[in-house]
Amino acid sequence: MAQCVFCKVAAWETPSQRVYEDDKFIAFLDINPVNFGHTLIIPREHYANFIETPEDVLSEMTKLAKKIAPAILEAMKAPAFNITFNSGQEAGQAVHHIHMHIIPRYADDGHKQWHGRDRYAEGEMGATAKKIKELIK
Ligand code: AMP
Ligand code: ZN
């Protein structure tokens, strides 16, 4: 028996409304959607988060999103969508099996994205960019 919620979905131990599946991926409706049609793409294989997921799996998920998102927009008559990966608990990741959210959006639908809430002090922006740049491997 799978332990992880999305491993259970993949194994049909938990029911899901699937919109797409192949030998490596499943796309299914989020049970608690921001808007109807909110879809999750998962690999069948378990990886905890974005950092843990191999590059080729991430690229394939993006390719799939390119295929599935237009269908969501058309089906839900949505003019726009957000793609989100929450990676880590502090970022709101509740299920620790990588998943991509595709969220159909409407004008004034009430869903709050982030708004810039901080300002760099003089010199801090350059120092921050430098720090990150030096750590890219
Ligand atoms: P996150 O907060 O990024 O980890 O998102 C997890 C998402 O999974 C949430 O939006 C939940 O509503 C959704 N979710 C949790 N369990 C299920 C399930 N059994 N079937 C479909 N969606 C689920
Ligand atoms: Zn899992």
Could you read off the pLDDT of 72-118 as tens digits, one per residue? 999 999 999 999 999 999 999 999 999 999 999 999 999 988 888 89
Does the annotation mark 99 as catalytic? yes
Angle at 130 between CA 126 and CA 136, to 5 degrees: 145
At 84 the pLDDT is 96
Which residue carries 């191999």 as its tokens? Answer: 54
Count CB neighbours of 49 within 10 A.
17
CB neighbours of 57 closer than 8 A, spacing ≥ 6?
Answer: 24, 43, 45, 47, 98
Helix (H) or strand (E) holding 64: helix 55-76
3-state DSSP assignment of residue 104: strand
86 Cβ below 6 A of ligand 1: yes
At 22 the pLDDT is 98
Domain containing 42 equals 5-135
The mean predicted confidence, pLDDT, of the chain is 96
3-state helix, strand, coil in the chain (%, to 5): 30, 20, 50
At 114 the pLDDT is 82
Give the DSSP per-residue string, 84-95: E---SGGGT--S
- Ligand 1 centroid to Cα of residue 123, in Å, is 40
Q: Identify the band that residue 17 occupies on the pLDDT scale cut at 50, 70 and 90.
A: very high
CA distance 57 to 127: 33
- Ligand 2 centroid to Cα of residue 32, in Å, is 19
Beta strands in 3-122 (DSSP E): 18-21, 25-29, 39-43, 80-84, 100-105
CA distance 62 to 57: 9
Q: How many domains does the chain have?
A: 1
CATH of the domain at 92: 3.30.428.10
Q: Identify the band that residue 29 occupies on the pLDDT scale cut at 50, 70 and 90.
A: very high
In percent, the amount of the chain with pLDDT more than 90 equals 93
